[in-house]
Amino acid sequence: MGSLRFRTILATIACAGTAVTLIAGCGGTTNASVPQPKHIAYISELGDEGDIKRLIPSDAKDLVAMGLYRQMPAQTAVLPPSNRIARVNGANLSRHNAHGMAAKLRAAIDGTCSAAMPCASGLVGLDDVAREFHGATGAHLLAAMQELAGQESPQGGSYADRVVMYLDYDILAELGDAKRAGKWRDAMAAAALGNSMWLEMYKSTGVGSMDTVSLREWQEIPKAATAALVAGGAKQSQIHLMIGPWLGRLPGQTPQNCPDTLTCVWYAAASTPLNHALLRNGIGMYRYTARDLEAFCVFIWTTDPGAEPDPKVRDSCARGLAEAESVSLAPGSKDAPN
């Protein structure tokens, strides 16, 4: 797998002096009673919970301590109910008026997901803010979030503070075009009122199918999206990159900016100063396979120079990689497992 080559991976991705791992924020809402996920794994129903448990720290207690959250639905989950996020379907939500949207989101926040797989975080993911929310529908979503912002949750903070927003790539791709960006202004302002905003850096090509984002798009799309969200009232610390499961060189990459095909997407994700800042907020992972998780694991484990990665993450990654790929580490190396 050639993992030792990962030592050259760009600068340390650190949040408050500790290397980050999956998805989330150093900032976000300021109410201490509102959960602030540092990491979110969104794997749908692909059955990769065992890979998360194997490659990221080895027990649920460690995962919770890392601030990892699991976007539901799921048939199984390593994480406890307190670290599971409920879900509202964006396409279905868009069919309601503003008051109806607010009611649906509020009910999900107050709910417990399902009897088999309960949630207790008091967070809901709007999956996703997509084509349905242009123009008037975006205005309805903004009015709904304004309504929720004025309503205190029994669990702490406002109801708006508890809405995690996933932003569809098709919207993000239009935000840099002055002729098309205007129709998303209300949707972006609505998202900015939420707990955090996750930029979906993958192109959906159908149910369960995705296409890659080129290096140029990695460099341009986050910049336009961040500008639009900050203009809508968001803090940059609330904005995160959601990364899809790709292996291999992306369009526009060369051997110089993608020296190992296992981590091309991570090089692209860190290819601008702004992207570095967003990565320090945390990273979203969507539909990852075991090998993708290994790439992620090595990326975090070898971030160098700078702040030392969380030892729990580094050591667990090293063990998992050694088991899977027979990776050897130099004796005495700071990266060697203890």
User: Would you place residue 298 in the very low, low, confident or very high pLDDT band (cuts 50, 70, 90)?
Assistant: low
**pLDDT tens digit string along 183-195?**
999 999 999 999 9
Helices (H), the chain: 49-55, 60-65, 90-93, 98-110, 135-149, 169-172, 178-181, 185-192, 215-231, 264-269, 273-281, 290-301, 311-325
The Cα 21–Cα 302 span in angstroms is 12
What is the residue-averaged pLDDT of the chain? 76
pLDDT of residue 263: 72
Specify which of 29-38, 250-259, 286-295, 301-310 reaches the highest per-range mean pLDDT: 250-259
- Average pLDDT over every residue of 253-258: 87
The CB density around residue 52, as the number of other CB atoms within 10 Å, is 22
Q: What is the CA radius of gyration of the chain?
A: 19
Longest dimension (CA), the chain: 63
**208 burial type by CB count under 10 A (0-12 exposed, 13-18 middle, 19+ buried):** exposed
The CB density around residue 16, as the number of other CB atoms within 10 Å, is 9
The Cα 166–Cα 172 span in angstroms is 11
The CB density around residue 131, as the number of other CB atoms within 10 Å, is 14
Provide the CATH topology of domain 3-324. Answer: TIM Barrel (3.20.20)
pLDDT of residue 239: 95
pTM across the whole model: 0.81
pLDDT of residue 282: 76
Adjacent-strand bridge partners of 200: 242
Which single residue is written with the structure tokens 């790439």?
A: 295
Backbone φ and ψ of 232, nearest 5°: -80, -5
Give, as one character, the DSSP assignment of residue 143. Answer: H
**pLDDT tens digit string along 108-145?**
999 999 999 999 999 999 999 999 999 999 999 999 99
Residue of 10, 19, 2 lying closest to 313 (CA atoms) = 19
Q: Where are the domains of the chain?
A: 3-324
**26 burial type by CB count under 10 A (0-12 exposed, 13-18 middle, 19+ buried):** middle
